[in-house]
Amino acid sequence: MSLATTINRPNFSSVNPDTVEQELDTHLNHFKSVIEQVSALENPTWETLIRPMEEAGNALSLYWSPVSHLNSVMNTDELREAYNKCLPKISAFYTEMGQNSALYNATQRLRNSDEYSTLDAAQQKNLNNELRDFELGGVSLSDADKKRFGEIAQALSKLKTEHSDNVLDATNAWEKLIESEDELKGLPASAIAAAKQRAVEKDQVGWLLNLEFPVYYSVITFAESEALREEMYTAYNTRASNRGPHAGKFDNSVKAIEILKLRAEKAQLLGYKNYAELSVVPKMVDSPEQVIDFLNDLATKAVPAATKEFEELKAFAKQELNLSKVNVWDVAYVSDKLKQQQYSISDEDLKPYFPASKAVPGMFEVVGKLFGLSIKQVNDVDVYHEDVQCYSITDNNGELRGEFYLDNYARPHKRGGAWMDTCATRQRVEQGVQLPIAYLTCNLTPPVGDEPALLTHMEVTTLFHEFGHGLHHMLTRMDTAGVSGINGVEWDAVELPSQFLENWCWERESLDMISGHYQTGDAIPDELLEKLRKAKNFQSAMMLVRQLEFSLFDMHLHMEATSGGGVDIDAVLDKVRDQVAVLPYPDFARFYHAFSHIFSGGYSAGYFSYKWAEVLSADAFSRFEEEGIFNQKTGQDFLTNVLEMGGSRNAMESFVAFRGREPSVDALLRHTGLAA
């Protein structure tokens, strides 16, 4: 008998900054009383110990998730203040729970009881993860060390939020009004029209530029004015630092050091040499050294190719553009010109074929065909902005699998980047099974005036990437919260479904579903598609070494940081750049001050996950290349062995179940054009 299902959508309109703290306290107090009751159980069972904990955790999550989400996408002074007041309480609560010896002992009693053998694999995995997380949460520490561990957790929570706020504020703080259209020469008409619209919205005369990514990307890639490119590069790459137009105002220099010192101290308290060692415990890899070896191996293959690509770029700049020196703010501009010369294609050529009104429903069609799903808009739902839509996912049996909120376009007071976040998790609840809900957030180029939003191919790929994360969260079959969706999935495997789905942005059969000229509806001509494919690996080695730079920098930083002196971040960056970088970075650039992934996001000592998961995703897609990109059996195999399993078993087991063997790096090297 299948259980009844329920959808618990957030009520965004009811989030009131004035009452957030008080309402949060109510949820926390309820959760604390549940912990107190279940910790005292002499003979705990799944139903008496874990279920009440799951229910209290779900109630807290359903309350807090819209508050946290709105703080990221509709940031106001009032909401930020309320959110920042609440963070220490949440941090303290989870720290105390992780160190609660009575609760740990009760969980241990359940693990050692006869009932354990009667639990299903997902429940057993969940229980074992819980016990591991208690150890990582400091449950075995002395009272004095527990106290210090709690202080560190509080301080880190505060610092990470401040780091993120500084990046958002620094991004919002910079604007440039252009008074003569000549200065914008080279920019696409759509970017010029958008700049005009921004000025009008602020009652200004001219063209207004800001640091939202679509604007920055457009200027740095197409503006003929080197002075404008340099100014824009400088503003963007000194955000939240001690250099550039707002030097010192939103400075993350000290915060970055403090975060690293506290992480190192936390790791030492738990008996690890450094934070990198602690970070890999719940991951697929075994040690930081294994990660460094993996990255160094890729560097050996990529650096010579990247050096060659950059030399080619410099020669072209000199001969064709009369540029005697290629500065870092010239790279995207010169690259676009070189790409046009070699492949007769520019990023702008494809935009008319990717109106969002075709790309978004087309993506749903691709996924529908791949996994046997139907995706439809849900009307009359409370949303927080006119750009946001809610959609439902139903499978071929007519079963509702989940919902998601799609928030696609860049706007002020919205955190940059693209991400998937959990709104509600699939799990057993009193009414039966609560279905999963996701937030899917991008910062794509918005529509201008009466024209539709036209996307670059890269933006379409970003959309597919985030939807891959969303499917991982929403298509799970696990009803145990701790291993449902992306919960319990090793962090270095969490990018597998997202990177895997990007492959459908390059195949004719799927491209015909997601593209069509916005005026005529015509498909991308064969000639243009051929150019797109040929240009796929244009400067792929330069892009790869950039990712290796981020990954090695992150790993070395967390291996070398100490609780006493922190670490000389610039020295670590210089050392990594000496090894892998081919671009001439200027002294004033301060990229790590806005490197949110590792300082305020979840990728600390884990940025390598993107590259490792790319090995998994390229190899997984190679089975579709062999059997057909819309082969229904292959699609179902990926659905049942990877997406539906959530974190109920180790990621390697799921991969092997789908691929029939362990992953090989060959497909990645072939896809990036680096196969020998």
Q: What is the pLDDT of residues 213-272, one digit of tens each?
A: 999 999 999 999 999 999 999 999 999 999 999 999 999 999 999 999 999 999 999 999
Q: How many CB atoms lie within 10 A of CB 117?
A: 7
Q: Could you tell me if 621 and 503 are in contact, meaning their C-beta atoms sit under 8 angstroms apart?
A: yes
The pair of three-digit structure tokens given for residue 201, joined into one six-digit string: 């919205």
pLDDT at 565: 81
Give percent above pLDDT 90 in the chain: 97
Span 277-303, average pLDDT: 96
Same domain, 587 and 618: no
The CA angle 303-304-306, to the nearest 5 degrees, is 60
Q: Find tokens 């409370």 and name the residue.
A: 382
Across the chain, mean pLDDT equals 97
In this predicted structure, the answer to whether residue 2 has a pLDDT above a threshold of 80 is no
Q: Could you tell me if 82 and 17 are in contact, meaning their C-beta atoms sit under 8 angstroms apart?
A: yes
The pair of three-digit structure tokens given for residue 178, joined into one six-digit string: 């252009």
Write out the E strands in 129-273: 175-178, 207-210
Q: Give the domain CATH number at 476.
A: 1.10.1370.40
Same domain, 443 and 545: no
Same domain, 268 and 322: yes
Torsions phi, psi for 582 (to 5 deg): -115, -15
243 occurs within a structural domain: no
Write out the E strands in 291-414: 373-378, 389-395, 400-409
Q: Residue 347's pLDDT band (boundaries 50, 70, 90)? A: confident
Same domain, 356 and 366: yes
In this predicted structure, the answer to whether residue 1 has a pLDDT above a threshold of 70 is no
Q: What is d(CA 589, CA 238) in angstroms, rounded to the nearest whole number?
A: 6
Q: Residue 674's pLDDT band (boundaries 50, 70, 90)? A: confident
pLDDT at 673: 87
662 occurs within a structural domain: yes
What range does the domain containing 533 cover? Answer: 352-538+610-671
145 occurs within a structural domain: no
| Stated pTM of the model | 0.96
Q: How many CB atoms lie within 10 A of CB 616?
A: 27
Write out the E strands in 68-147: none
Same domain, 63 and 107: yes
Q: Residue 676's pLDDT band (boundaries 50, 70, 90)? A: low
pLDDT at 170: 97
List 348, 403, 466, 614, catalytic entry: 466
245 occurs within a structural domain: no
Q: Residue 6's pLDDT band (boundaries 50, 70, 90)? A: very high
Span 632-641, average pLDDT: 98
Span 556-582, average pLDDT: 95
Is residue 490 annotated as a catalytic residue, yes or no? no
625 occurs within a structural domain: yes
Same domain, 663 and 555: no
Q: What is the pLDDT of residues 651-665, one digit of tens each?
A: 999 999 999 999 999
Same domain, 460 and 524: yes
Instruction: Count the domains in the chain.
Output: 4
- Name the strand (E) or helix (H) holding 444: strand 437-444
Same domain, 366 and 456: yes
Q: Which residue has the higher pLDDT, 449 or 208?
A: 208
Q: Could you tell me if 404 and 440 are in contact, meaning their C-beta atoms sit under 8 angstroms apart?
A: yes
- End position of a domain, from candidates 586, 607, 628: 607
Span 605-626, average pLDDT: 96
What residues form DSSP beta bridges with 389? 406
553 occurs within a structural domain: yes
